[in-house]
Structure 1
């Protein structure tokens, strides 16, 4: 009889203690997914996958080791535990490693309030195929589209359970439905490509296949006959599609692991102003139907709604137990744990304070500058925040979009850039990172 993820976790912990571990935690992830891709009106690829993966971390004193497997046989669980304990005995001591104290653990939670699983039945492969075909047809119908590179739909469920010898045991189940389309416009060396897509917990929340395909096609056509912009210093507007990457760099610099290593440009900035005074960055793990929501973290601690930046000032690091111990602080409940990796700090759902202007109003206020809609590559110096990325998008002249641009580089320093951001009000509220388009004056642009 197939064991549940919960029973597998407890079996692993029991085996670890029997093998000589002083403590242990275990994670089991059970998932299934279906993906469909179409091309030129016909099925191109169909795939279904199912599986269960197991991860076990053991402690012998302050020594730890981690093993993983996808074999659920009882003899394998015992072998995993024995191997992990033997590895831990050979590992160097880590004074900051260890499970949470029982007093730190979450006591109770209401899983239903998070709405992480769609109650609708699993869609048939034919339904996914028809969604993909509809997106492909809508994209192909856009004048100027030479071909649709791909259109695909998918569905999946994922059950995760975490248990530890300190008494914690908890899990949840998620579902996801996705649809995407990539269109190609033009021919030969003048071809341009762009995409659109949507991924939601509930199918009823998804945008229509026609809208996704049409948007992918329109975006690709708009990129035709791109030019290199002039080199100089210009205002740059980061489109809402990619603006969250800027806040992501801020979050990375406030990550407790980076701070503990002393390798962050924010390491001495606690309490200092890092954004304009009217802006805050709020982390909220309790938003229903959102991928980044969860009641507890990867170490069994309760998650919390908190302000990482409040009125422009940095208020706290993102911490798991190990990084908190290194810094002499308390965990912020932000540990993520993978099957084959030890816990590390990471963020949940993030929202930046919106502005009071629309994207179009910011474009009009730019004068001459660059609207960035996609970026490639990345050169970020984590120690001083120096920033350089390849970019493409549209040139703005006299407050109007004039023509597409590509093959340029935008550069600056993150500390200076973030202090000058002006947000629009166009963020998509259903994303895990709710960040609007962001205007930054005076960035260095390298073109022709």
Structure 2
């Protein structure tokens, strides 16, 4: 029996289960309902110093049902797929709904927004890897780091992960849709030592298709090289200076943007970008967009968690905020329309400039290249930003020495407006794609 046939048969089973949930909700008096069912499996191994630390097989399943009695809502979930468990779960959701208050914004997404085209986005590539093969892969990855240099003195190990899942969603508008997906990764983290000081760094690779992963040798080597580069780190005195967020951490700034323009933050009035629609947020050369249907994309989806069809959209055009990111509930709270972002954003990207990281360093001249951040010092109401950091001090466009035990501080609104350049060294290992980001000035707090 082919893999494709098995997946199709399993998807048909889950779709029938969603239909059963919706029918049961209708029989118990619900005026509307929506349900989601998922089935997942995976393998995770960790090796350290050439020895196996953990081998974990996972096989999970779950279902959730949300029912509406007019504008009263109840939700329940279970991991038990037996028919009696399904009935009990629906009954629990109905009992909750009967005792909740009316919410005028509650309800399914609009019927005319449901996805009618669900293309194959190339999201499913199962990895037929055995635990034995995964163990050897992890060992070779770790060895590549340890053999790089005698200063690599210890290791936190290497990990191999493979995950496949199937998700189906449906609602009483008659919409039902689902698709399988996969995600595989390989990572390594090692410790370097020099003159009594120690540094830790890592590297990882992730993809829908295992064939697109970086080799275990490259992952181990990069983890080792990054660790060695941090040896001999110094502290800095407090100062004002330009800052580059290297591409692999620059996505955190865009996540702050996503949070600030997401519906839940806006209707709660907990965003520093409240009432900024149509206003300039970034310099005019900045373009940010969402492209939910990129084949093989780590954030790709043809519909959001409410069944609303996803679509390409400009979020920042010529520096101006074009749209908020809304599901149906937050859209109603704000008197707007859903943007097909229930459940989050899908493949956000910022248009890269012409320079690579070395070019950005030369443009910056003197300043800080940030390669690691710690803590969560971001106030989304005011935009105030303060996080622990490590990286490299740069002079005349060249890295001079590694730095540690510093804090970088500013205000996100000002940081966005002072985004001078975006590198073409695009980071693609998440649903947010960005190059390195050069900020005109921030406060660096040190000694």
In structure 1, the partner of 2:88 is: 79
Shift of 1:189: 6.3
Answer yes or no: is the 8 Å Cα contact 2:374–2:389 preserved in 1.
yes
Whole-Å separation in 1 of the counterparts to 2:83 and 2:374:
47
In structure 1, the partner of 2:5 is: none
Shift of 1:58: 0.8
Of 279, 292, 302, which residue of structure 2 is paired with 1:285? 292
Answer yes or no: is the 8 Å Cα contact 1:290–1:430 preserved in 2.
no
Shift of 1:126: 1.9
Whole-Å separation in 2 of the counterparts to 1:159 and 1:189:
50
Alignment of 1:328-343 (within 5 A): 328-336=335-343
Matched, 1:123 2:129: yes
Whole-Å separation in 1 of the counterparts to 2:133 and 2:127:
12
Whole-Å separation in 1 of the counterparts to 2:110 and 2:364:
53
In structure 2, the partner of 1:432 is: 431
Whole-Å separation in 2 of the counterparts to 1:4 and 1:256:
34
Of 264, 269, 276, which residue of structure 1 is paired with 2:276? 269
In structure 2, the partner of 1:140 is: 146
Whole-Å separation in 1 of the counterparts to 2:260 and 2:412:
10
Shift of 1:229: 0.9
Range that drifts further, 278-287 or 378-387: 378-387
TM-score normalized by the length of structure 1: 0.94
Whole-Å separation in 1 of the counterparts to 2:195 and 2:133:
35
Query: Would the alpha carbon gap of residues 184 and 234 (structure 1) be closer, same or farther in structure 2, given more than 3 Å must change?
Result: same
Shift of 1:121: 5.2
CA RMSD of aligned residues (A): 1.6
Answer yes or no: is the 8 Å Cα contact 1:297–1:303 preserved in 2.
yes
Whole-Å separation in 1 of the counterparts to 2:293 and 2:278:
26
Answer yes or no: is the 8 Å Cα contact 2:415–2:439 preserved in 1.
yes
Range that drifts further, 173-182 or 398-407: 398-407
Whole-Å separation in 2 of the counterparts to 1:428 and 1:387:
23
Shift of 1:4: 2.3
Shift of 1:381: 1.7
In structure 1, the partner of 2:16 is: 7
In structure 1, the partner of 2:206 is: 199
In structure 2, the partner of 1:253 is: 260
Answer yes or no: is the 8 Å Cα contact 1:282–1:306 preserved in 2.
yes
Whole-Å separation in 1 of the counterparts to 2:331 and 2:45:
43
Whole-Å separation in 2 of the counterparts to 1:445 and 1:437:
18
Whole-Å separation in 2 of the counterparts to 1:288 and 1:240:
22
Shift of 1:207: 0.7
Whole-Å separation in 2 of the counterparts to 1:300 and 1:442:
43
Shift of 1:109: 2.2
Matched, 1:364 2:362: yes
Answer yes or no: is the 8 Å Cα contact 1:100–1:166 preserved in 2.
no
In structure 2, the partner of 1:214 is: 221
Whole-Å separation in 1 of the counterparts to 2:185 and 2:105:
40
In structure 2, the partner of 1:341 is: none
Whole-Å separation in 2 of the counterparts to 1:400 and 1:121:
42
Whole-Å separation in 2 of the counterparts to 1:48 and 1:353:
39
In structure 2, the partner of 1:343 is: none
Shift of 1:430: 5.9
Range that drifts further, 96-105 or 403-412: 96-105
Of 96, 107, 128, which residue of structure 2 is paired with 1:98? 107
Query: Would the alpha carbon gap of residues 12 and 269 (structure 1) be closer, same or farther in structure 2, given more than 3 Å must change?
Result: same
Answer yes or no: is the 8 Å Cα contact 1:146–1:187 preserved in 2.
no
Range that drifts further, 95-104 or 227-236: 95-104
Shift of 1:96: 0.5
Whole-Å separation in 2 of the counterparts to 1:133 and 1:409:
36
In structure 1, the partner of 2:58 is: 49
Matched, 1:238 2:248: no
Shift of 1:368: 2.3
Range that drifts further, 364-373 or 214-223: 364-373
In structure 2, the partner of 1:342 is: none
Of 397, 404, 407, which residue of structure 2 is paired with 1:406? 404
In structure 1, the partner of 2:118 is: 109
TM-score normalized by the length of structure 2: 0.94
State how many pairs are aligned.
436
Cα deviation code 1:327-365 (max 9, x no counterpart): 1111111112xxxxxxxxx21101101112221122123
